[in-house]
Amino acid sequence: MTTQTTTQTVTRADVCVAAVSDAFKDSGEVLAHAVGIVPAIGVRLAKATHTPELALSDGEAFMMAEAPPLLKTAAAGGTPEAWVPFRSIFDIVASGRRHSMMGASQIDRHGNQNISSIGDWRQPKRQLIGVRGAPGNTVNHRVDYWVAKHSARIFVGSVDVASGVGNDRAVGTAGRFHDLGIIVTNLAVFGYDESGLIKVSSIHPGVTPEELQEATGFEIDTSDAPLTREPTSEELRIIEAEDPKGLRFKEVP
């Protein structure tokens, strides 16, 4: 899906990048953790525009004043500001000085996320990557999710394994710093209502409410949902500069 402005063409991928960037607005001086091509471009856009104090790593051990090219480390360019070995990441997570946008193989209406396995956990149909850092992330700092291919197989009534802690499970000490933000997909942006249930925040240009509901495995209210904003001309220029090879179109055609 593309739309034409007076001088530039805006693609669905560009809309998604802008939505990711907006998710990091006012995050402050925290480590930005972005899983996926679109999120990686989105945090770069955020740092280049509204939140310059965001800390970006090169994916290994260097904090960067200017992010290196996509999928490259500090060796490919950029200005290292600090050395942060992997063992230090756990201290940053525990301190809450991190903002993560993770992926998800399943998400339910409460925001529980699964990246571990599909099917009965005792004998799963598909083994995935395991819970990894999802439990620690979701109980310690702000977590958003990115879903490149929105479908009813991902947005499900109940996750098979709760890797990331949802709003219904954030009780006791698990809820002290629990902070689920938004979910950006290739179709829409979601938030959470006062009871902790997923709600539609906006629908991307070119997506119909019927299409969005059909791709979601539980009932959602699409009435009065606004359109997701399109990036400005300046944001488009930055997006193109950060992704000159168009890698974002491989994730969101």
pLDDT tens, per residue, the chain with 253 residues: 666 544 579 999 999 999 999 999 999 999 999 999 999 999 999 999 999 999 988 877 888 887 777 877 777 766 788 888 888 988 999 999 999 999 999 999 999 999 999 999 999 999 999 999 999 999 999 999 999 999 999 999 999 999 999 999 999 999 999 999 999 999 999 999 999 999 999 999 999 999 999 999 999 999 999 999 999 999 999 999 999 999 999 999 9
Which of helix, strand or coil describes residue 124? Answer: coil
* Backbone Cα Rg of the chain: 18
Q: What is the largest CA-CA distance in the chain?
A: 56
Position 3 scores a pLDDT of 60
CA dihedral 153, 248, 37, 126 (to 10 degrees): 30
Cβ-based neighbour number of residue 90 at 10 Å: 12
Strands (E), the chain: 2-4, 9-11, 31-34, 56-57, 62-64, 80-83, 98-102, 106-107, 113-114, 117-118, 126-127, 142-147, 179-185, 188-192, 198-203
Residues whose CB falls within 8 Å of the CB of residue 231, separated by 6 or more in sequence, listed in order: 10, 14, 15, 17, 18, 239
Q: Phi first, then psi: what are they for 191, rounded to 5°?
A: -125, -155
Position 17 scores a pLDDT of 98
Q: What is the pTM of this model?
A: 0.93
Domains along the chain? 12-247 (3.40.1080.10)
Position 6 scores a pLDDT of 46
Q: Alpha carbon 58 to chain centroid distance?
A: 18
SS3 content of the chain, % helix, strand, coil (to 5): 25, 25, 50
Alpha carbon distance 59, 182 (integer Å) = 23
Position 70 scores a pLDDT of 83
Position 127 scores a pLDDT of 95
- Looking up tokens 């805006």 gives 10
